[in-house]
Structure 1
Amino acid sequence: MKLTNYNATTFLLVLCTFLPAIDFAQDAAEKIVYRFPEISAHRGASRSAPENTLASFSKAIGLGAGFLEVDVRTTRDEAQVCLHDGSLKRTTGVEKKITEVSVKDLRALSAGSWFGKEFAGEKIPLLEDLCKLVSAANKDRSRHIKLYVDCKDIDASKVVRILRDHGVLDSAVFYGNLTTLARIREHASTARLMPAYPGVADARSVIRQLKPYAFDVSPSELDDAVVRFCHDNRIKVFTDLLDEYDTPQQYARAIRLGVDVIQTDDIIAVQEEINKQKGSQIK
């Protein structure tokens, strides 16, 4: 059928309307999808401030991160604190395990001097401290910041209570092993749980058992088939683009594949790549 000028114009308008939802083949293994990820700040803005400190989390909020990733551990007096390592050595210089010290002991230590003199006053925060920061920031934002809680060694009931008390539980995502995540679910039936992607052979079993909100997919396993499998099962895809995967090429690939959240040490670089991809689709 020959298109009149009117019909041709109408056809093009309709095509443009649906264009962002169309997948275009990049190659046989991967497809470009028009979906843009949120950014998770790995231990806060850890390139700009000492990891897992209020300075780092505040900086990440200012840079526009959608998620703040925080590692949570338990002290001798059973407080829930923001710390990655089981030892205090790397970030405070003290040769003790976190399970050997109290909150009072922590208040006497600097968690920022190793990063720079200007951060000498930074402490290892309580999880409550971070929740207060996020809750206060969300009062002035239309798009709320969410917590990505990496459950290193936690008291599940306390973590859930702390987040609930500060109004940040419903949007938080919890990462950990299956046992820990099951404990979280016991205390919060609608908690958003995220185990590591176990591979295609075990994924369906984990879905039945845990009903996860998301899978954390290693960039080495990330491909079009994995993303489609997760999305077909209404499961979001998070990936950590850290260390050797911390490159613009890897950012671009994750964006093209339709990943939902990119975790990064470099918020600015990932946001620049997202903006670049958005701009290329407008042209």
Structure 2
Amino acid sequence: MSALRSTSSFRVGEKECAVTLRVPEGDGPFPAILMVHGWGGVQDALTLPFYEPFEQAGFAVMTFDYAGWGRSEGTPRNVINPWQREREVEGALEHLRAQPAVDPKRIVLWGTSFGGGHVVRVAAKHPELLGAITQVPMLDGMAAVKAVPPLRMLRFGFSALVDVVRGKRNPFYVPVVAPPGEWASMDRDGAAEAMQNGLKALLEAEGPEAAVYDNRVAARSLLTMGAYRPFKSLRDVKIPILVVGATRDTVAPFVEKKIRALNNANIQIEKLDANHFDPYFDPALSTNLGYQLAFLRSLSA
């Protein structure tokens, strides 16, 4: 089955966010999955392997770039504010509902990493949704902060201070990912290798223009991490939600005990013996997709 792909955009404030919609062949309207990317994510950078299995399961798939990232408008570039991103997810959800090929009553939110936290927070506000999937989610920013070595945390703090002093229009950037031990917002769990492999797959599938990636994030973005704790919103989720956690994740530590302590019967937990980036690639990818496709089938049962 091949998907029919189209591009469009939606507006959040004064900024246009770029959208790609993939629709299965056949007669719609189709149930749809809104995919929400992670910390330094842009469309297709690591999520390419998920599209075809979801489309073969009968779902339209919509991806988008956050404002100031990828193909979306917005300056300064590559700044992260999780609460602003949630507003952009809301805008993307409204845009998806308006697509003629999509059944607006059968939409699933899907989020990964930092975007997995956004999905939890947004899902808690939308009991009308069909369901939600959050993989290797950043559910507790304080746990993520505590996982950072102290000396690196000091350097993060200094970089963020420099960025704040320079002002909103003149960001001080740090790399999003780097090899182990090198300076970046993420150097653990094979972050740089994962991004390189993801961009290589994108290059092979879409050509050189699609694989452009700006490996920078404004250092001020790091200041938002500790205060962002989406796991607290899990208690308010009233739709089926699948949480796929990685037991060796040091980027967004899997807070399984906190999740289970909420005693929310809508939450289904599946675990992978993996680090933060393993679930995007085989062999962990196959197991991960197995969990997610089984969950999607259960929503239609």
Q: TM-score, normalised by structure 2?
A: 0.33
Greater fraction of residues in strand: 2
Greater fraction of residues in helix: 1
Q: TM-score, normalised by structure 1?
A: 0.35
